[in-house]
Structure 1
Amino acid sequence: MKIKTYVINMKESVVRRNALLSEVTKYPCMDVEIVEAVNGRRMSSEDVKKNFDVLKFTYRYRRTPKRGEIGCVHSHRECYKRLLASDEEFALVLEDDVVFFYPERVDSLIKEMAGKMKSAQPHIISFTTHAIYYTKSVHLVDNFSFYRLWDAYGACAYLINKKAAERLLKASRPSIVADDFTYMKRIGILAEGIYPTFISGGSSIDKPSEIQDDCTDYVRLSDLPFRYQLKHCWTRFYCELLLSAKVLSFRNYFKDRN
């Protein structure tokens, strides 16, 4: 089985691109296509205003977006557009700083999980670390378990089907970070994730990120419109309720990564 694999890479990041291409040639299942990353730091204020809903983002996360985050989400959206324009039913998306923790298992496990991708429902399977998850596992592959996600860290490696890509592209101007799995769940996407962590982004293991190093300004909850205050409070309350009922559980990233 060949799996269309979109690798997100800055055009000028030749070293990263070559290093990852050298790595993925070890995995016969990957049919690699390079997707040039959008450098958000080079976007003009007018480009940002035209292509990203900064106000809604600020209300959603109680902070202003980083330019790198804006570029990141547009880079992933380009992968979704290519998937929808292709004959493929699903694809693997990788960022160029990924680290494979179990290289000897990559080909077999990704192929097995690709076989579990749903066609009738928007579906994403993440191979990176998840933070908050539903406690009942949905798949078991050897010593790896898969759980439905509430929240996770990073969007460096995941399978996505066409229906999920279509759902994420529905908004003409995005207002989210690329790894907002809570939002994905809210819009009807089935998001599942692996444990233990199978693939990680370099920025999560102390390698510098090329797109996530700018600053942000935080907003007090009381400064948000009332409906957003209500949404934040309800989401937090509901999450804590499910955690206390053990419907959800939490993994400490640094403790559980390996």
Structure 2
Amino acid sequence: MPTPLPIFVINLDRSKSRWQQVTSRLSQLNLEHQRVSAVDGKTLQVEDISQVYSATLNKSLFRYDLTLGEIGCYLSHRHIWQTMVDQQIPYAVILEDDINIQTEFAHVLDMLVQYSDWELVKLGDDRDLPFYQQHSEAPFIWGNYKKIPNCTLAYAISLSAAKKLLSREKFYRPIDIDMQFPTKLSLNVLGLKPYAVSPNLDFDSEIVAINKGKHKGNTSFWRNLKYRIMLAWQRKKYTSGNLNQIKKAT
């Protein structure tokens, strides 16, 4: 059946079992969805990476060099954002393939279309971080964060948010970390609980597998400390988004 929002599922071509698990579950819920071939970081050439990734900004503003897996992951999400811009898709849901999907997921989609003017809504979190402020809309709760979940396993995104995230010509942090700094892009990041998507622990991280669990490149105590101070300042001064920005669709 047609879904209230387009659903894109990011999946590496070689990860067939992950795709079978996700597509089977979404089909059980009668939710249309589209597979998006993920960018395999191992296949990227140096020239490809230099066009999208700033090693200079990374060393200045983040605590370690990005791995090929993290770069490929970021590009996979960027490709969907660009598709939204090219096709003028007003809202969409983006899923990674290492997830469990609860039956309530269909109701989450229904809730999202009842509201307008949201930009980025977290639909899952591997640690269930608390909301800072919240608004109840039974059986769900909208909220914002002081500490934004650092995972991208499931989120809803608007066209305006996609444009903002694409406004950076080059990225220098992992995608989930970039989303922890929404004020830089005037991005409104909220969450919708109870989460209907959770990590599937039966699958190992593709990012870790690509890089054998190690981060390539240098880091240091001072580089890490600088980043931690910057992140702590961000969390102390700002919330992730404004709940008053969203409103019931008419």
Report if the CA contact (8 A) 2:41-2:72 is conserved. yes
Mean CA deviation greater in 11-20 or 73-82: 11-20
Q: In structure 2, what is the equivalent of residue 6 of structure 1? A: 8
**CA displacement 1:172-231 (0-9 Å, x = unmatched):** 2222312132222431111111344421233xx36301223322245336459xxx94x7
Q: In structure 2, what is the equivalent of residue 135 of structure 1? A: 132
- The code of the aligned residue for 2:39 comes to V
Q: In structure 2, what is the equivalent of residue 31 of structure 1? A: 32
Matched, 1:161 2:158: yes
Matched, 1:198 2:177: no
**CA displacement 1:21-47 (0-9 Å, x = unmatched):** 11111233x431211100112212232
Higher relative contact order (CA 8 A, sep 6+): 2
Q: Measured at CA, do residues 223 and 93 of structure 1 come closer, stay the same or move farther in structure 2, by a change above 3 Å?
A: closer
Report if the CA contact (8 A) 2:62-2:172 is conserved. no
Q: In structure 2, what is the equivalent of residue 255 of structure 1? A: none
Q: Measured at CA, do residues 46 and 184 of structure 1 come closer, stay the same or move farther in structure 2, by a change above 3 Å?
A: same
Matched, 1:92 2:93: yes
**CA displacement 1:143-177 (0-9 Å, x = unmatched):** x4221134213101111000000000011222231
Q: Secondary structure at the match of 2:142?
A: strand
Q: Secondary structure at the match of 2:92?
A: strand
Q: In structure 2, what is the equivalent of residue 56 of structure 1? A: 57
Q: In structure 2, what is the equivalent of residue 81 of structure 1? A: 82
Q: In structure 1, what is the equivalent of residue 18 of structure 2? A: 16
| Displacement after TM superposition at 1:109 (Å) | 1.9
- The code of the aligned residue for 1:154 comes to C
- The code of the aligned residue for 1:114 comes to V
**CA displacement 1:218-255 (0-9 Å, x = unmatched):** 5336459xxx94x753542463578xxxx89xxxxxxx
**CA displacement 1:33-84 (0-9 Å, x = unmatched):** 2111001122122322222112312332211111111000000001101111
- Partner Cα distance (1:4, 1:90) in 2: 7
Report if the CA contact (8 A) 1:2-1:31 is conserved. no
Report if the CA contact (8 A) 1:133-1:151 is conserved. no
- Partner Cα distance (2:184, 2:138) in 1: 27
- Partner Cα distance (1:113, 1:4) in 2: 12
Report if the CA contact (8 A) 1:27-1:107 is conserved. yes
| Displacement after TM superposition at 1:139 (Å) | 4.2
- The code of the aligned residue for 2:185 comes to I
Matched, 1:65 2:86: no
Aligned pairs, number: 231
Q: In structure 2, what is the equivalent of residue 148 of structure 1? A: 144
Report if the CA contact (8 A) 1:109-1:141 is conserved. no
Q: Secondary structure at the match of 2:8?
A: strand
Q: How many percent of aligned residue pairs carry the same amino acid?
A: 18
Unaligned stretches of 5+ residues in structure 2: 241-250
Higher strand share: 1
Q: Secondary structure at the match of 1:194?
A: strand
- The code of the aligned residue for 2:171 comes to P
Report if the CA contact (8 A) 2:150-2:180 is conserved. no
Report if the CA contact (8 A) 2:99-2:199 is conserved. yes
- The code of the aligned residue for 2:110 comes to K
TM-score normalised according to structure 1 size: 0.78
Unaligned stretches of 5+ residues in structure 1: 249-258
